[in-house]
Amino acid sequence: MSALRRFFRLVLKGLLYGFLFSILYTLYCKWFNPPITITHISSLVHGHIFKRDYIDYDQMGYPIKLAVLAGEDQMFTDHNGFDFKSIQKAIKHNQKGKSLRGASTISQQTAKNVFLWQHGGWFRKGLEVYFTFLIEHLWSKERILEVYLNVAEMGPNVFGVEAASQYHFKKKAANLTRAEAAKIAACLPNPVRFTINPMSRRVSTRYPWILRQMSNLETDPDIKALLNK
């Protein structure tokens, strides 16, 4: 019994230390960009040199912020990290068995990209829920969007909007046109498969839709406030 008690004490200590570390690291990332992520490490392990260039929120430019919201999470300013209506729609769609559809919000994607790994089952999904809850309560919506736009993969081993803008269009993110921003947003969530140069079928059909959604979305007062325009 004493050995069993020691085992449970070790488990409880591990959970407590893990919990405290998660809070401290989440607070660290509230003010500082993550030094490296598991996805970055995975790129290095597989022999790839990743491109990354962190920039501040006001250096990103209006079009790319709007394009990513239009393409990935139009309810970003209204939900608390989880879009339950989209989740229900995705479940119904996936039950038909024709294709899989995701319903991850930008908050969930940020939690996964910063704290976790890209693939995994229910265990990783559970951790994703936990970290999504943390950043929604400890960070602002602006900070969540800023970090997402700095860490999301937007080209083969290309992370963040600045590196993606230079990679795809040879210009700064702040100088992207609406169409260029929509093309970058259209390559998500699989920028290795959905390419811009040459333009894949997915990007060619999706980016005009994102452009239309951008025009509709930018009239929303909450979106205007978030994008500082």
Task: Report whether pLDDT(95) > 60.
Answer: no
Cβ neighbours around 29 below 10 Å, total: 21
Look up residue 207 and give its two tokens: 């980016």
Mean pLDDT along residues 66-76: 96
Answer whether CATH 1.10.3810.10 is correct for domain 37-226: yes
Closest alpha carbon to 150 in 27, 12, 2, 29: 29
∠ Cα 71 72 76 (to 5°):
115
* Measured distance between the N- and C-terminal CA atoms of the chain, rounded to whole angstroms: 64
- Domain ranges for the chain, please list them: 1-32, 37-226
Confidence of residue 27 (pLDDT cuts 50, 70, 90): very high
Closest alpha carbon to 155 in 48, 65, 16, 55: 48
Mean pLDDT along residues 23-37: 96
User: 181 near 60, Cβ under 8 Å?
Assistant: no
Distance CA 218, CA 229 (A): 9
Pseudo-torsion of CA 127, 132, 137, 139, nearest 10°?
A: 120
Classify 97 in phi/psi space as left (phi over 0), alpha (psi -120 to 50) or beta: left
Confidence of residue 9 (pLDDT cuts 50, 70, 90): confident
Confidence of residue 97 (pLDDT cuts 50, 70, 90): low
Task: Report whether pLDDT(98) > 60.
Answer: no
- pLDDT tens-place string over residues 151-164: 999 999 999 999 99
pLDDT of 100 reads 47
- pLDDT tens-place string over residues 103-142: 689 999 999 999 998 887 888 999 999 999 999 999 999 9
Dmax (CA) for the chain in angstroms is 67
Distance CA 26, CA 42 (A): 21
Distance CA 225, CA 137 (A): 19
